Amino acid sequence: MQRSAGRSRRGLLLASLGALLPRIAAARPASGQDVTAQHLGGVLDLRDRAGRLRRLADFRGKVVLLFFGYTRCPDVCPTTLLRMAQTVRLLRPDESARVQVLWATVDPDRDTPALVGDYVAAFDPAFLGLSGSVAQTDAVTAAFKFRYEIATYRQQVLVSHSPDGYLIDAQGRTRVRIGYEATPEQLASDVRSALAGGGR
């Protein structure tokens, strides 16, 4: 009787776990780390190619995919923007209309607004390139806890930065820190989840 009761309890436990695991998997972002509780962001205050000051409030109602980099970046930035373009193409037209990709330079002394605008438009004309003063750039990156560094070595400017990006929901809350290894399919899944209300 005791063995039978033990098997029965194990069976119930396994059945409960089996029902719970899909919910856990669904709640976890596919493209990176859930950072909802960290309250990242809130500050943007950067200008687009036309010189217009853009804030996160401008994109309320849309899911924002935000990345930082610089136009002379040899690998991470072009790869990331290509992945963003692929992600948007995986979405239905009604979904992609509610998504905005933003890419902000961390090298404002060399990256002019026109240069940044042309750079991101080469990947998708709907992408917005942003730039600001060094102080504005520092304020935005600090708000997102984004790491970058600029140094000069043998009269050459060297820029290093984190490859991560951020998914910001339609209410302006930063939900996911997107890992560099995230695939377009994973990103599209997280975008759809955020568009649907997400539950995160």
Mind listing the pLDDT tens digit of every residue in the chain (200 residues)? 555 554 554 444 334 434 433 443 345 788 889 999 999 998 899 999 999 999 999 999 999 999 999 999 999 999 999 999 999 999 999 999 999 999 999 999 999 999 999 999 999 999 999 999 999 999 999 999 999 998 888 888 889 899 999 999 999 999 999 999 999 999 999 999 999 985 44
Same-domain status, 161 and 187: yes
Cα–chain center distance at 173: 12
Same-domain status, 8 and 37: no
Number of domains in the chain: 2
Same-domain status, 14 and 102: no
Same-domain status, 140 and 185: yes
3-state helix, strand, coil in the chain (%, to 5): 40, 25, 35
Same-domain status, 21 and 44: no
CA distances from 63 to 6, 7, 74, 111, 170 (A): 49, 47, 28, 26, 5
Same-domain status, 23 and 72: no
Same-domain status, 25 and 41: no
CA distances from 129 to 22, 39, 44, 144 (A): 38, 24, 12, 17
Cα–chain center distance at 195: 14
Global model pTM greater than 0.85 = no
pLDDT score at 29: 87
Find the CATH number of the domain harbouring 143: 3.40.30.10
Same-domain status, 132 and 107: yes
Is 109 inside a domain boundary? yes
Is 200 inside a domain boundary? no
Note whether 43 and 66 are within 8 A (CB). Answer: no
Is 124 inside a domain boundary? yes
pLDDT score at 151: 87
Give burial (CB, 10 Å; 0-12/13-18/19+) of 145.
middle
pLDDT score at 27: 52
Same-domain status, 98 and 48: yes
Same-domain status, 54 and 7: no
Same-domain status, 100 and 17: no
Is 160 inside a domain boundary? yes
Give burial (CB, 10 Å; 0-12/13-18/19+) of 195.
middle
Domain that holds residue 14: 1-29
Same-domain status, 187 and 105: yes
Note whether 29 and 167 are within 8 A (CB). Answer: yes
Q: What is the dihedral of CA 121, 88, 175, 149, to 10 degrees?
A: -30
